């Protein structure tokens, strides 16, 4: 898996008359893990969707490895927020994962043995092989998220975009996701994921991207996970509590889960 740098230059995006994100300029190195952080309504989802082309860009350019993302959709995998999915749709877990192969096999061709193997391997990798034939809506939140991760895996994409993948999942699934992130990153993939868990992101991500309709800060956690950046991003929604040498960060109605607090 060969990674490519993701570049956004002067990107404004949104619907109607107003832009949700404004004048975003960002250079994300290949083979890196970036956590996108900001309060509710700050444009985290819009940023990811604009890269994917799901939200119209008003201005600016988005490239992957020097080429337009539009020209290389097969290199981009997307995991939406769970709330955006119709879980009543009558498909099994393995059918959902197989959808990740359609760009490779074509919509008019039947999946082959290689596709079936790829689907089985991806489900096994996320611990869901035993649930392959279960209807997607019958699974727990954590299991559903694992299935969508497996769908992203079979795409063999170089750029992965995930919108709140840790929300509503159990601790085991969260640890599995973090492990997968590290493995994919080490294999050369570029990963961006939106999250509210500041503590976890600061410990596991290579870069933090703080967003509040614009880029407040982007860089390694040691440089960006600071009180000034946090306050500029969250304003009055931020509370930092020091407790026996540990810092707990509460932002936007969400809080970190350090010590399962």
User: CATH no. for residue 183?
Assistant: 3.40.50.300
0.75 cut: is pTM over it? yes
In a domain, 135, yes or no: yes
Structure confidence by residue, pLDDT tens digits, 69-105: 888 888 999 999 887 788 888 899 999 999 988 776 5
Domain range for 177 is: 6-260
Q: What percent of the chain has pLDDT over 70?
A: 85
Q: d(Cα 5, Cα 32) in Å, to the nearest integer?
A: 9
In a domain, 28, yes or no: yes
In a domain, 76, yes or no: yes
- For residue 155, what is the enclosing H or E element? helix 141-155
In a domain, 204, yes or no: yes
In a domain, 1, yes or no: no
Structure confidence by residue, pLDDT tens digits, 7-65: 999 999 988 667 899 999 999 999 999 999 999 889 999 999 999 988 989 999 999 98
In a domain, 66, yes or no: yes
Structure confidence by residue, pLDDT tens digits, 209-241: 999 999 999 999 999 999 999 999 998 666 554
Q: How many domains does the chain have?
A: 1
More confident: 250 or 40: 40
Q: d(Cα 195, Cα 162) in Å, to the nearest integer?
A: 9
Positive/negative CA dihedral, 10, 152, 75, 184: positive
Q: d(Cα 121, Cα 166) in Å, to the nearest integer?
A: 22
Spatial contact of 188 and 2, defined as CB atoms under 8 Å apart: yes
């Amino acid at each position: 898996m060969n990674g490519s740098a993701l570049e956004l230059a002067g990107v404004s995006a949104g619907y109607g008359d107003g832009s949700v994100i404004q004048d975003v300029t960002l250079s994300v190195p290949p083979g890196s893990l970036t956590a996108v952080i900001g309060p509710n309504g700050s444009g985290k989802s819009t940023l990811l969707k604009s890269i994917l082309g799901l939200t119209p860009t008003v201005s600016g350019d988005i490239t992957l490895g020097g080429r337009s993302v539009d020209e290389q959709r097969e290199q981009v995998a997307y995991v939406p927020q769970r709330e955006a999915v119709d879980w009543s749709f009558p498909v099994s877990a393995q059918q959902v994962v197989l959808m990740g192969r359609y760009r490779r096999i074509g919509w008019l061709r039947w999946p082959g043995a290689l596709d079936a193997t790829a689907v089985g391997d991806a489900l096994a990798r996320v611990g869901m092989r035993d649930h392959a034939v279960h209807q997607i809506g019958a699974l727990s939140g954590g299991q559903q998220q694992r299935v969508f991760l497996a769908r992203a895996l079979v795409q063999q994409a170089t750029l992965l975009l995930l919108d709140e993948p840790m929300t509503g999942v159990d601790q085991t699934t969260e640890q599995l996701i973090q492990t997968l992130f590290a493995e994919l990153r080490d294999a050369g993939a570029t990963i961006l994921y939106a999250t509210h868990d500041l503590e976890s992101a600061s410990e596991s991500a290579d870069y933090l991207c703080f967003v509040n309709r614009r880029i407040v800060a982007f860089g390694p956690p040691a440089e960006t996970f600071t009180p000034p950046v946090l306050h500029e991003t969250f304003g009055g929604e931020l509370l930092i509590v020091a407790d026996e040498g540990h810092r707990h960060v509460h932002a936007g109605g969400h809080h970190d889960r350090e010590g399962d607090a």
